[in-house]
Amino acid sequence: MKVLVTGGGGFLGLYIVEQLVEAGETVRVFCRGEYPRLKELNVETIQGDIRDAAAVERACTGIETVYHTAAVSGIWGPWDYFYGINTQGTLNVLEACQSQGVTRLIYTSSPSVVYDGSAHENASEKLPYSQNFLCHYPHTKMLAEQAVLAANGTRGLATVALRPHLIWGPRDNHLIPRLIQRAKSGRLRQVGTGENLISMSYVENAAAAHLQAAARLYCDSPVGGQAYFINEPEPVVMWTWINQLLALAGLPPVEKRISVKAARRIGSVLEFLYRTLHLPGEPPMTRFLASQLSSSHYYDISRARLDFGYAPLVSFDDAMQRMEPGLQRLAAR
């Protein structure tokens, strides 16, 4: 079977590529840059922008299954940037899949599409889409997910959306490096009581979920047209986990704290200043970030287990051990 991975040079995408190659699949990658690891894997690579419909069309030629991971994440930035990549890029993928006779599309979504700032405790896929987005990333991912699920069964295409929560692991170039950098600079603050529970997705487990869903995906299957939360079976206490990561990196635990009310107030003020004054970069605190750092958000994976046999490959303890060398390198920089 010939498969395409969009964003296959990225954090999650590369792990999906590796698992597909190991499974004996013929893999093509659509990505923006050059990645040494893809050359090592000897996979076909097409460089292009997901916003370029013609380039996406060419990438889907002769493909049976598409894993669409290409996206831009973040808590700050212009609407057009997030919409162009996350929403319009996904619409380009959908159109290319349908015109080129692709039979299966596995879309990487996010639990943030249903996150409204309130606590989510063992929440299921019955949660409705949020009506109150505090940043553009979840909004544009929601629009993309809706389009993907609505396309299931059209022109022979079966679709599914997976929502891995807080993907982490070796080669992460976003979440963990920022955490370590803030801790080293003394700018990391615990928001709230520190007792909030969260779900996490170790990257190899999140990648495996994509392959497991694909194996059960066809238009009339229970998987077709559905969205699934993907994370480890048990939640963790967020700030306990953060301190465990810092300990592995040889750094002291977080000791400074700020109340939720103060964090949200600061986030609101900083958002106004950055937006009004067109300041570069992103605010160190936003309302969305304050909510994420202080509230519980963990999800039930029963449906993924039932419908396509989702089963993590790596335990939490093993995952933490695999993180230690990389954490120490980050702390030494």
Residue type present at position 245: L
Describe the chain by its helix, strand, coil percentages, rounded to 5.
Answer: 45, 15, 40
Residue 80: C-alpha distances to residues 13, 72, 76, 87 (Å): 24, 12, 12, 10
C-alpha to C-alpha distance for 146 and 161, rounded to whole angstroms: 9
Taking Cα atoms as reference points, which of 201, 229, 226, 197 lies closest to residue 123? Answer: 229
- What is the DSSP annotation of 221-251? STTTTEEEEE--SS-EEHHHHHHHHHHHTT-
Q: Are 179 and 121 in contact (CB under 8 A)?
A: no
Ramachandran class of 153: left when φ > 0, alpha when ψ lies in -120 to 50, beta otherwise: left
Q: Give Dmax (Cα) for the chain.
A: 56
| Residue 115 appears among annotated catalytic residues | no
Angle at 286 between CA 281 and CA 291, to 5 degrees: 145
The active-site residue, picked from 35, 137, 202, 228, is 137
Q: For residue 212, what is the DSSP state?
A: H
Q: Specify the DSSP element, H or E, that contains 305.
A: helix 302-308
The tokens for 59 are: 């990438």
Q: Specify the DSSP element, H or E, that contains 287.
A: helix 287-294
C-alpha to C-alpha distance for 91 and 51, rounded to whole angstroms: 9
**Active-site annotation, residues:** 137
